[in-house]
Amino acid sequence: MKTTYDAVIIGAGIIGCSIAFELSKKGWNTLNVDTLPAAGSGSTANTCAVIRVHYSTIDGTALAYESYRHWSDWSKYLGIEDPRGMAEFIQRGVLVFKSEANNHLKKVTATLDALEIEYEHWDFRKIKEKFPLIDDTSYFPPRRPDDPDFGKKNSTPVTGAIYYPQGGYISDPVLSVHNIQVAAEFHGAVFRFNSRVTDILKENNRAHGVQLADGSAILAPVVINAAGPHSFVINKLAGVTDGMNIKTRALRHEVVHVPAPEDIDYESIGCPSSDSDIGGYWRPEVGNHILSGSEDPECDPRQWIDDPDDFNRNLTDQARAQALRLALRIPGIRIPNQLQGIVDLYDVSDDWIPIYDKSDLPGFYMAVGTSGNQYKNAPVVGKMMAQLILSCENGHNHDTDPLTFHLDYINRDINMKFYSRLREINEESSFSVLG
């Protein structure tokens, strides 16, 4: 394998592979380096892979809406057919419940209106027609099972939800990453696995490549941090942390799998759903299961991880709390004594909005703080990062004159200052997995 490239991308998850695809299409010789044995083996493998367009901010919503268009025509976007098969976008729509916690979605629907995104208001009669298993009792605020008021019913039921048809989930997130890897390799991208980055090389006060654990060096004038939950480690190696107003940390998260009610084929009829009244989200899973995660309500403790290579991968009481809260909304689910699920890390920024930016070290770029809510945006993130890198390498000062990125499908510009490492904390964020 050669040792000199135009760009080294640290990470081969959904974000890193998307960047490789977009840069390689522009003629760059790229190398993705990943500690794990295959693309998408890290936190991407354990994503719920929900494709939705609602976010707490208009820029986040616009980016997701643009990305939806790529997922909905996946093969056309990539321009290849993967011999392993192509990941399927299961378009079931997305149901978001109105609650006190989200101000009955007034802000969300205003954003959807501004972007002319199709949606419907569903009252609970409509919800029960589509999903007879759903209960309309309100339990807000979300609580843990050891709270004496857990399961306490409010006098006013949940009023309804919004449903937007342009959403769903990806059948196999690991396969989706392999699809992008194959597309990037078609354009000349190279991938190196089982290789840990131990240092960021510098020369003449700019990035010069990476040092690997086996002692070898990969040289490149551009290094891109797309390392997911390890992003803060890589930034420390590069010495760029002090120049960031917004930083990232690794957050441990659990997702629980429970069997759907016996008399309901939820795998066939269910859709991704989000419910701030109980502080959870869920979607159908293979085997007529339902997988459910936490929306990070105040009652759920947040476990920040100092060493992303050393954390508890076993389910805890948190998984049972999520299952029991889901049972409040779907009373017929079956909760086994031995729960099943997954545990992994999120790469989280201070305001849960990602950083897509340059750094204080010339040639070192970041696509970080992405876990939990950016899988769905990966196709457009790859394009946006490619434009940023090419512009900055051609002398543009993104810090003083932030780039504008054009969303082709929806014909809208977004200011990339929104994703800057230098921004102030965005108070419009949900400060949760919702983004």
Hey, what amino acid is at 365?
Y
**pLDDT tens across 102-140, in order?**
888 999 999 999 999 999 999 999 999 999 989 999 999
Residue 47 lies in a domain: yes
Number of independent structural domains in the chain: 2
**pLDDT tens across 313-331, in order?**
999 999 999 999 999 999 9
Mean pLDDT across 274-281? 96
pLDDT of residue 1: 60
What is the 3 state secondary structure string of the chain?
CCCECCEEEECCCHHHHHHHHHHHHCCCCEEEECCCCCCCCCHHHHCCCEECCCCCCHHHHHHHHHHHHHHCCHHHHHCCCCCCCCCCEECCCEEEECCCCCHHHHHHHHHHHHCCCCCEEEEHHHHHHHCCCCCCCCCCCCCCCCCCCCCCCCCCCCCEEEEECCCEEECCHHHHHHHHHHHHHHCCCEEECCCCEEEEEEECCEEEEEEECCCCEEECCEEEECCHHHHHHHHHHHCCHHHCCCCEEEEEEEEEEEECCCCCCHHHHCCCEEECCCCEEEEEECCCEEEEEECCCCCCCCEEECCCCCCCCCCCHHHHHHHHHHHHHCCCCCCCCCCEEEEEEEEEECCCCCEEEECCCCCEEEEECCCCCCHHHHHHHHHHHHHHHHHHHCCCCCCCCCCEEEECCCCEEEEHHHHCCCCCCCCCCCCCCCC
Task: State the CB neighbour count (10 A cutoff) for residue 87.
Answer: 23
Q: Map tokens 């309500």 to a residue.
A: 297
40: domain CATH number is 3.50.50.60
- The answer, yes or no, to whether residue 292 has pLDDT greater than 90, is yes
Residue 181 lies in a domain: yes
101: domain CATH number is 3.30.9.10
Contact between residue 388 and residue 365 where contact means Cβ atoms under 8 Å apart: yes
Q: Are residues 59 and 162 in the same domain?
A: no
Q: Are residues 355 and 215 in the same domain?
A: yes
The torsion angles phi and psi of 14, rounded to 5 degrees, stand at -60, -35
Whole-number Å distance between alpha carbons of 19 and 223: 12
**pLDDT tens across 41-66, in order?**
999 999 999 999 988 889 999 999 99
Contact between residue 11 and residue 210 where contact means Cβ atoms under 8 Å apart: no
Mean pLDDT across 411-418? 96
Percent of the chain with pLDDT over 70: 100
Band of pLDDT at residue 394, cut at 50, 70 and 90: very high
Q: Are residues 161 and 178 in the same domain?
A: no
Q: Mean pLDDT over all residues of the chain?
A: 95
Examine the fold and report which residue of 291, 326, 345 is the final residue of a domain before the chain moves on.
345
Mean pLDDT across 154-175? 95
Q: Are residues 147 and 232 in the same domain?
A: no
Contact between residue 53 and residue 109 where contact means Cβ atoms under 8 Å apart: no
Residue 434 lies in a domain: no
Put the strands of the sheet holding 30-33 in their side by side order.
190-192, 30-33, 7-10, 222-225, 364-368, 355-358
Q: Which two tokens stand for residue 22?
A: 């977009």
Q: Are residues 15 and 47 in the same domain?
A: yes
Provide the domain limits for residue 314. Answer: 90-168+252-345
- The answer, yes or no, to whether residue 77 has pLDDT greater than 70, is yes
Give, in order, the Cα–Cα distances in Å from 152 to each of 134, 144, 147, 161. Answer: 17, 11, 10, 21
Task: State the CB neighbour count (10 A cutoff) for residue 291.
Answer: 22
The torsion angles phi and psi of 175, rounded to 5 degrees, stand at -65, -35
Q: Are residues 219 and 183 in the same domain?
A: yes
Q: Are residues 271 and 339 in the same domain?
A: yes
Q: Are residues 31 and 130 in the same domain?
A: no
Q: Are residues 270 and 187 in the same domain?
A: no
**pLDDT tens across 7-43, in order?**
999 999 999 999 999 999 999 999 999 999 999 999 9
Residue 394 lies in a domain: yes
Residue 188 lies in a domain: yes
- The answer, yes or no, to whether residue 229 has pLDDT greater than 90, is yes
pLDDT of residue 155: 95
Mean pLDDT across 281-291? 94
Examine the fold and report which residue of 345, 366, 401 is the final residue of a domain before the chain moves on.
345
Mean pLDDT across 282-308? 95
Q: Are residues 310 and 410 in the same domain?
A: no
Residue 431 lies in a domain: no
Residue 391 lies in a domain: yes
Q: Are residues 261 and 341 in the same domain?
A: yes
Q: Map tokens 């929104």 to a residue.
A: 418
Residue 2 lies in a domain: no
- The answer, yes or no, to whether residue 141 has pLDDT greater than 90, is yes
Q: Are residues 221 and 364 in the same domain?
A: yes
Band of pLDDT at residue 430, cut at 50, 70 and 90: confident
Examine the fold and report which residue of 329, 345, 361 is the final residue of a domain before the chain moves on.
345
